[in-house]
Copies of this chain bind each other. A is one copy, B any other.
Amino acid sequence: MISIALLGAGRIGQIHGRNIAASSRAKLAGIADPLPEGANALSKATGAPVRPAEELIADRAIDAVLIGTPTDTHADYIDQAAAAGKAILCEKPVDLNSARIVETLERVKKAGVPLMIGFNRRFDPNFAALRKRLEDGVAGDVELVTIVSRDPGPPPISYIQRSGGLYRDMMIHDLDMARFLLAEDPVEVYALGSSLVDPEIGKAGDVDTAAVLLKTASGRICQISCSRRATYGYDQRVEVHGSKGLLAAGNIHETTVTFAGGQGFTADPAQNFFLERYAAAYRNEVEAFIDTVETGKAPSPSGLDGLRAQQLADAAQTSLETGKPVKVG
């Protein structure tokens, strides 16, 4: 029975805390959040005590911490937890600054603790099954990967302003997915971006509609497109074109109900909310982390995976700003 402390009881922390509590192999040992409301609600639902983060990190009875706090606290908490010898599952990104990530990964390495990064989509049963079939050779050699990622609607401008920009905030999930599916690291990034959804996003210095092209050393190509708005739900699709055929994973509709009438045949919108769309992914992610802690196997996605995705996002941002492709790695 792994004893896990949760740092951060916001929207995503609520999910993780409940998943830890529901696991038959872990217990939620404590909850830390400076805002009492979320922490108390989660404590009531799970029975886990609310305690200061420092106390939880120092508690020798606790094996691991799950960090779901605001991004700018991630690196510090990782440093502290690593120093205390805890296994760590941290929400992406480790930091918006890649140099800071490198420093933290060094400390983690010295501490000898496992660090897993919360790229939840890798644990989605559909994307995981697709990746498994790639490994089994179903599609042959990978040639061309296409990733579509469109949020139902943009976040508040206040969020946009401190988000690090679309590539680091939103597309980073897709850049990790690209690495997951390409089975090879991209060596070059070219990015386009526009503000077409909401001019306020453009005024805030960000884009809301974006596409990148990635190329690997062996010539594999990946195209990613993102939008901050999709009227038909949360659009999350991948396609991998290989020498033997095309593997694809499509959207999940709200229900299987269809209606056929004068306008045609209508299926439900795609599931709209990321916590619903990726509910199984979050469960599986926590279980994979528990596996890592129990078995001592290498964490995946690792801190290095987190760094690589961040470097791709940085490169995309630079490409947007310079209008040129940017080399990576």
B-binding residues in A (CB < 8 A): 22, 24, 45, 125-126, 129-130, 133, 138-139, 141, 143-144, 146, 148, 150, 190, 192, 194-197, 209-211, 213, 215, 219-221, 223, 225, 227, 229-233, 235, 241, 243-270, 323-325
Q: Residue of B at shortest CB range from A232?
A: B260
Q: Kindly state the separation between the CA atoms of A233 and B143 in the bound complex, as whole angstroms.
A: 17
User: A279 → chain B, closest Cβ, in Å?
Assistant: 11
Query: B269–A143 contact, CB under 8 A?
Result: no
User: A269 → chain B, closest Cβ, in Å?
Assistant: 5
Query: A231–B144 contact, CB under 8 A?
Result: no
Query: A231–B143 contact, CB under 8 A?
Result: no
**Which are the 10 A-B pairs with shortest beta-carbon distances?**
A194-B219, A245-B261, A232-B260, A246-B260, A266-B266, A265-B267, A126-B256, A129-B255, A126-B255, A231-B245
Return chain B residues, CB-CB under 8 Å to A45: 24
Q: Kindly state the separation between the CA atoms of A57 and B117 in the bound complex, as whole angstroms.
A: 50
25 A-B pairs with C-beta separation under 8 A: A139-B259, A143-B194, A144-B225, A146-B148, A146-B225, A190-B190, A190-B192, A190-B213, A194-B215, A213-B223, A223-B225, A225-B241, A229-B243, A230-B260, A231-B243, A231-B244, A245-B262, A247-B257, A248-B258, A251-B256, A265-B266, A265-B268, A266-B267, A324-B324, A324-B325
Return chain B residues, CB-CB under 8 Å to A138: 259
Return chain B residues, CB-CB under 8 Å to A325: 190, 323-325
Q: A144-B227, A196-B220, A227-B241 are in contact. List 5 more A-B contacts (CB 8 A).
A: A138-B259, A143-B227, A192-B213, A249-B256, A265-B266
User: A36 → chain B, closest Cβ, in Å?
Assistant: 20
Query: A262–B221 contact, CB under 8 A?
Result: no
Stoichiometry, as copies per complex, reads: 4
Candidate in A45, A150, A194, A243 with the most chain B CB atoms within 10 angstroms? A194
Query: B196–A143 contact, CB under 8 A?
Result: yes
Q: Kindly state the separation between the CA atoms of A253 and B130 in the bound complex, as whole angstroms.
A: 14
Query: B259–A133 contact, CB under 8 A?
Result: yes
Given contacts A125-B255, A257-B130, contact A241 B139 (CB under 8 A): no
Cβ contact of A264, chosen from B195, B213, B268, cutoff 8 A: B268
Query: A232–B246 contact, CB under 8 A?
Result: yes
Return chain B residues, CB-CB under 8 Å to A259: 133, 138-139, 245-248
